Structure 1
Amino acid sequence: MTIREKIHNFFEAPDTIAAKAVQFVIVLLILFSVAFVVIEQWYGAYFLAHKSFFQITEHSILAAFTVEYILRLSTAPIKWKFAVKPLNLIDFVAVFPNYLEFLLPIFINTTELRVLRLIRLLRFSRILRAFKLFRYGEFFKRVLRYRGTILEAITPILLLVISIKGGVWILEHHDRWIQDPSLGDLFAIIGFALGIILSQKISSTYDKFLEVETTIVRLSSTLTSLGEILDRTPNRNGRKACQTWARDFLLLLKDPGANNHDIYRANMSLYQAIRSDENVPGDLHMTWLSITNDATFCLSKKARLTPRAYDLLLQQATVLYLVLIALFIPGLTGMISVFIAAYILYGMYYLTQDLDSIVGGEYQLINIDISELEQIASEPREDV
């Protein structure tokens, strides 16, 4: 691959850490650039007080965008096709007016009123750089992912407490609600204690999660080995027997309401497959025993969830705490506190729920990897 192709792929198909880091920096520069326009237009006094800083930063950002555009254009396989693409046109329009602003005073008397208005318009056109963000849609999809995340799980409680806080905020604004800033210290202590309790539950459920995951890995390996050994015997029924057992086991593991004692029938079917041939080594009986013990361990851990009363207490205490914050921590501080506390504390609660269920939690946030067992349970491979 030539240097030209490497540069082209660096910007157009970023798949390395360095390329993704550059993408991130460009996104930050876009946001800073738009923020500078807003500050200049609506906070003129502040802009003038720090004019030199803003100008140096603005020129640096423009230089970075220019270099980026030139590199991408110069390394494009077909330049005219590159130039007319909508996203690339946006990049050009986001940069070009800034150079007009610099060059205009050289050719035109900038003391005229119309020219001054044109310069102001060109300056405001910098906000077009915001459209460059469309190029980084995939970047934002990764950063701002919503589906299948904690944020999706806690959205109902977030909307509830933010709505409560919004109503209270209106009452506070009209001096119709209690405003006692000293309550903040009390709620901080309560929140800290609640966080410790939730973290302890996460620790215990995570230990259980790791134990089962380790057992599943060992079970998959043992089952694969057993199938291969049995396939070398005259009956050649090893993979089929292991496939049937794995399928039955997975059904029990995924079904929260399944009777775990049903694994006994699957165990006995696998045992019969081992005993059906006199040439089977005796130590395979120990292998079978290891498989059945691991299966029993996993199914028993699946059934042993956190006691319902304790779990309900944690949930109710978390919700009550969030509502109290919304009611009694005033102003913007209260709104920010509600959002952060809901995200962290209620998010921790939902994480423990999914960890506790091992497989098939309510929001499928965390599940044990059972892909190897699912592969064994699928159609057996054909012999070569």
Structure 2
Amino acid sequence: MPTLKESVYDILDYDPECGLVEKIVTIGLIILIITNVIAVILQTEPGIGTEYATFFNVFEVFSVGIFTIEYLLRLWSITVDLRYREPVRGRLRFMVTPFALIDVLAVLPFYVPFFLPVDLRTLRLFRLLRVLRLFKTGRYSQAFDIFIRVFRNKQAELLVTVAVALVLLIISSSLMYSVEHDVQPDKFPSIIGTMWWAMATLTTIGYGDVTPITPLGKLLSGCIAVLGIALFGLPAGIFASGFMEEIQRKTQHPVICPHCGKLIDEQNRERET
């Protein structure tokens, strides 16, 4: 018979094949997360936020209480997982995992004003940070898990793309600054100031608040825009290929290791973690 800690861990650890109690807890937490995000959005409406301020405050206290208890129970029961079986080091390792950090950020805006003096603007910012609770739903989403695996598998290619984008951003800003600074010193005051124009052009957004007026500047602007289309299309292609590989992997027949009896893919994931 499982111990209390093992039962708590099984209830909080999402599994598509989980039992009735686990499903009820999971669905309840998902509903609470979504309603919290809706509440944050509605509070920004002047009429609704003022008229129902008491309701929103009570709902916030209730939600923070549930999320806090959830986090503490996860922290207490996580030693059931063999990856975090050491009482102190295991829990410290768990506390810096992405989902554990999201759990902390979900309740942190509520507790900070009690310990640190903050002005009204900072308090408003902390309240808006509550929308980060939406990321808590990722724990219960298989699609989110696939996205994380694709990102891990393609992180080298994505880093190369980011590096190339930074190099292109610096070169574009430097060239445009040298061409347009003399005729538009207020629009292109420095290379750093020109990076706003370069970013808007490379991403093909083109706000139009800063535009070149010299013939050479216009020519450079067109070339940079074309390069931006090719450059920012690369991450989409990388992610698309990663998702295709993940889908193909799932549709293939499982290969069982003759030595331990585990799935080969499961062994690979254990090595990665």
TM superposition score category, shorter chain reference: 0.3 to 0.5
TM-score (norm 2): 0.45
TM-score (norm 1): 0.33
- Greater Rg, structure 1 or structure 2? 1
